[in-house]
Amino acid sequence: MQANSSYFTTKWNYLRNHRAFKKAPATAIFRTIYWAVLCQLGIPATVEIPKWKCRFFLPAKFKQAGSTGIFVLREDYEPELYYLERSLAPGSVFIDAGANTGIYTVLAAKLVGDAGKVLSFEPGEESYKNLDRNVKLNNLSQVKLFKSALSDTEGTAKFYHIDNAPNSYSLGGDGSENTTYEEVATTTIDSVLSREGIDRVDFIKMDVEGAEEYVLQGAKDLFGRMRPQVLFEINEKAIDRFQLSDSGAWNFLKSLGYEFFTVKDTGELQSVAAPQEGNILAIPKA
């Protein structure tokens, strides 16, 4: 009971300080309550996002699946989405590593258009089904889906159901004998680009629960040719499951001449001098 209370307190504090809540608090509160009722009844939803001219299917999970934030906040879900709108253009190539249900995949596809490409990776059985559904729902022929995890090698691996929360599933185990898992395929960015005959990438988004350094190691050929922008997360708890350095992905990109930023809730950039928890945007120095 105490854990649930703490969870809802944390989420409420996040919501009331969010830009979208301040812009339309009554709408945000109504959507939160309505979604909680739908989830309690096990009723999924398909929401319209007029700004992107898309529809988005959301599984009826109130906690730890990414659904609640999207249902309540829509296009304001994460400030990095504002930045993505300014960064991708028709014809761009976008990689979504750890796509979950596909909010970044769908937006990127709308931005790159028919002349562009979106390579979207999601190894989890449940999330992949929802991702596939959202791509088909919006007729996104420029998206190619891969039911595999990006890493530094090709093969298979255990994909652990951390906290039984699809947006926390990870290739890194938590050491608990009670944690279930599924066997998934692993591949690398370099291998996929070679097979697909793609010779450039403009933007990589990674939400891979601690495996960011491995994903970058599997893209050495790509980074030897060009410098795409990279959006990644520093999640110390998730990274520790791999026994990797919390600054591993940061140091990899820094060695290639990248500088680092966070995205403010207006979509503007704020320079970051040292690794910190949360989403980090890496941009190659001019």
Grade residue 1 by pLDDT with cuts at 50, 70 and 90.
very low
Query: Quick one: 32 and 96 in the same domain?
Result: no
Tell me, yes or no, whether 185 and 149 share the same domain: yes
Instruction: Give the structural domain span for 63.
Output: 1-74
Q: Is the pLDDT of residue 82 over 50?
A: yes
- Report percent pLDDT > 70 for the chain: 97
Tens of pLDDT, residue by residue over 193-236, are 999 999 999 999 999 999 999 999 999 999 999 999 999 999 99
Residues 221, 101 within the same domain: yes
Mean pLDDT across 236-264? 96
Say whether pLDDT at 138 is over 90.
yes
Q: Indicate if 115 and 46 belong to the same structural domain.
A: no
- In this structure, are 49 and 87 located in the same domain? no
Both 113 and 68 in a single domain? no
Q: How confident is the model over 89-108, as a mean pLDDT?
A: 98
Average pLDDT over the chain reads: 92
Q: Global pTM?
A: 0.93
Same domain, 163 and 252: yes
Residue 247: its pLDDT value, please?
96
The residue with tokens 């988004």 is 205
Can you give the pLDDT at residue 4?
Answer: 58
